[in-house]
């Protein structure tokens, strides 16, 4: 592991543009439950894969809103972990950094990362069900779900649900940035969810150095130049320490 960390640190020192993709694994280390984790309490009988869809919201918008309100409360009580902070500090160590996350929890921003591209939206934003515009909840709004102040439609969480398309500007920018990087780092992602799983292929097309940080083997592992097995919260701070040391 140590020799691989040294090699990765060397690649980062030589990099012009580093692209980082993070997935559920990095936030799971903070205690954010993934959709594959069992639900608890009142929500134990529900399958999250059946709640996070446009169809579920159409059938029972109150139920879906209440479930997301519960998730917001849960995530609000969780703090970023050392991996989030290490990525925020990595910005100062490389000429250019692109950070794309599949997570919706906002932990990267809370850790201090200045620019985060959220592939699947943000749990704490609200958008109009009719036109997708971002809206701010009124302090006295007690409707469940709340009502859009502009058009009177329902508001919904600002996340990308199963069966929905990722915003074209986010998608295009992410692939363009991946295709222009010379180091690509995948952290805590299963490499199974399309289209994020194809981002590293765009980087390979630019002969980028591919690095995976994950305790588990993924479909990307064989294509990676360096595989760092373990928790991101342990590995990334060690990597930052190495970057601080001259060759």
What percentage of the chain's residues is helix, strand, coil (to nearest 5)? 40, 15, 45
Q: For the chain, give the number of residues.
A: 247
Q: Which residue has the tokens 């989030």?
A: 84
Tokens read off for 146? 């709340």
Instruction: Kindly state the helix (H) or strand (E) to which residue 6 belongs, with its residue range.
Output: helix 2-14
Which residue, 34, 51, 173, is CA-closest to 104? 34
Are 156 and 129 within 8 A, CB to CB? yes
Alpha-carbon distance 233 to 82, whole Å? 5
**Whole-angstrom distance, CA of residue 231 vs CA of residue 239:** 12
Instruction: Give the span between the Cα atoms of 109 and 15, in whole angstroms.
Output: 24
Name the strand (E) or helix (H) holding 155: strand 155-159
Q: Which of 84, 108, 120, 194 is catalytic?
A: 120
Q: How far is CA 125 from the centre of its chain?
A: 15
What are the CA-CA distances from residue 121 to residues 100, 176, 182 (Å)?
A: 11, 19, 26
Question: Catalytic annotation on 194?
Answer: no
Cα(50)–Cα(162) distance, integer angstroms: 9
Active-site residues, by number, are 120
């Amino acid at each position: 592991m140590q020799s691989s960390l040294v090699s990765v640190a060397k690649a980062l020192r030589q990099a012009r543009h580093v692209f980082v993709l993070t997935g559920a694994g990095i936030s799971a280390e903070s205690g954010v439950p993934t959709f594959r984790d069992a639900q608890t309490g009142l929500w134990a009988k529900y399958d999250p894969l059946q709640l996070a869809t446009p169809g579920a919201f159409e059938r029972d918008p109150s139920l879906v809103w209440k479930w997301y309100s519960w998730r917001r409360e849960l995530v609000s009580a969780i703090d970023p972990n050392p991996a989030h902070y290490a990525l925020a500090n990595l910005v100062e160590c490389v000429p250019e950094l692109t950070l794309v996350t599949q997570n919706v929890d906002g932990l990267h921003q809370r850790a201090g990362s200045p620019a985060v591209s959220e592939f699947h939206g943000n749990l704490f934003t609200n958008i109009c069900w009719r036109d997708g515009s971002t809206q701010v909840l009124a302090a006295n709004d007690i409707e469940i779900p709340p009502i859009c102040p502009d058009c009177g439609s329902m508001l919904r969480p600002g996340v990308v649900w199963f069966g929905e398309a990722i915003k074209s500007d986010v998608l295009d920018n992410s692939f363009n940035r991946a295709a222009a990087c010379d180091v690509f780092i995948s952290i805590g992602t299963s490499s199974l969810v399309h289209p994020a799983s194809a981002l590293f292929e765009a980087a390979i097309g630019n002969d980028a150095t591919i690095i995976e940080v994950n305790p588990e083997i993924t479909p990307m592992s064989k294509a990676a130049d360096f595989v760092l097995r373990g928790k991101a919260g342990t590995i990334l701070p060690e990597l930052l320490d190495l970057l601080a040391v001259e060759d």
